[in-house]
Amino acid sequence: MTSNNFTAQRVVGTTVFDSILFKDAFGTQQAREIFSDTSLVGRYIEVEVALAKAQARCGVIPAEAAIHIAATARLEDIDFERMGQETDIVGYPILPLVHQLVDLCGEAGRYVHWGATTQDIMDTATVLQVRAALNLLDEDLRALRAILAGLASKYRDTPMAGRTHLQHALPVTFGYKAAIWLAMCDRHQERLAELRKRVLVVQFAGAAGTLASLGEQGFAVQQALADELDLGVSAISWHAARDGFAEVVNLLALVSGSLGKIAYDIMLMASTEFAEVYEPFVQGRGASSTMPQKRNPISSELMLAAAKAIRQHAGLMTDAMVQDFERATGPWHAEWIAIPESFILILGALHQAKHALGGLIVDTDRMRENLGLSKGLIVAEAVMMALAPVIGRQQAHDVMYAACRVVNEQGGTLAEALAKIPVVTQHFDAPAIARMTDPINYLGLAPQMADRVVAHSAEMDKKRAV
């Protein structure tokens, strides 16, 4: 019995999306439900029923037939095993589904799928899935932005080393860094709102996209179907024009790229040598099997992995745009892989981001300590700019270059090196040199920039609420 149970469990999952071990690391239950077989077939039926209702409204099929189809075309009555077997033979799931719906609907079954083609039903069902997933994405982005706005405000004035090329550059604040993260997510929220009108449109155009089977009623049925499903209408068929879905997945790639950047920052800052931030503590999370001292940044690692995977799907979707004539021979099928996986990955990554950033542990003392590692050299530019008005810009640069070499080669601090240079002490006393070489006095407009981003983000949400 134990052996049989083990065998049954062993074959349950084959990818990270259905794996007992990894499915919640790379996705969420809500995301999986949207793109499950059950949900997908349910969407197919939803579209077929909506089509019957739309055609009845337009007088194309009898009203009684539409009523009966709506009452009897039920997901719970579908034989999934039979449908799967037929789909394997046909290559598409709609004809196998229509076979069963016709049987279920009796006399009214003759009007099921009237004037439609397989891709009409599948594309529109995918649009409905995408809409549901975009709603989750919208919610998660808003929640993440609220977390980031809180970090940007709380740590507005917390000084830390700004780094370029992994070297100390100039002082910044942690609030400034969090505000950069927030600004990226704000832009993604705007992009999400803008693409809806281009993507959330019905697909109903018939075999070659001309609505020939419905004659002059074609446009009326198309609009009625869109009304039933609360979708927009495209001016022309998009059977072989796939820019809408490609735009969606490329947006997901942009969001995941930003999450990957945030994750990368967190992972570097959480390294032993930096020790400036940590993901929230959860007993056993990030533990090593052999090194008890380890506390690995698991959420950040998962965010970064998702970003890499979604970028591949974004390329696949762009490639799939290159289609032949009025209906594609194969590129369309690539979407069946890329769209569900991309959404599951991004919603999983956002879940990890909310966890990591929502409970982020920030060591402000270590940030200040790291800021002093260069012994004042991080503000060499500040001193140069203070010297330039009195001794000239180039001379100031040369003086500072020499002073920095002294600190690097002989030790001591920048302030101590400057105190030994006559051309400096001639114009600046010890307290002035101390002020010039204190990193906290050279934050530029970093705090004000954080304020500006937080205010803009709040204004975005206020306008949406109105």
Q: Which residues are identified as catalytic?
A: 165, 288
Q: What are the b/e assignments for 28-47, b being 16+ CB within 10 Å?
A: beebbebbeeebbbbbbbbb
For residues 363 and 276, the answer to whether their CB atoms sit within 8 Å is yes
Is 362 in a helix, a strand, or coil? Answer: strand
Distance CA 121, CA 26 (A): 29
Query: What one-character-per-residue DSSP string does 77-120 give?
Result: G--HHHHHHHHHHHSSSHHHHHHHHHHHHGGGGGGTTTT--HHH
For residues 347 and 261, the answer to whether their CB atoms sit within 8 Å is no
CA dihedral (452, 454, 460, 463) in degrees, to 10, reads -90
Distance CA 370, CA 366 (A): 6
Distance CA 142, CA 457 (A): 10
How far CA 227 is from CA of 26, 66, 202, 224, in Å, comes to 35, 16, 9, 5
Give me the helix-helix angle, 37-57 and 118-154, nearest 10°: 120
Residue 125 corresponds to which tokens in the numbers above? 């069902």
How far CA 170 is from CA of 6, 165, 173, in Å, comes to 57, 12, 10
Closest CA to 304 of 356, 341, 262, 273: 262
Closest CA to 97 of 46, 173, 168, 134: 46
For residues 406 and 343, the answer to whether their CB atoms sit within 8 Å is no
Is 325 in a helix, a strand, or coil? Answer: coil
How far CA 352 is from CA of 25, 189, 381, in Å, comes to 8, 18, 39
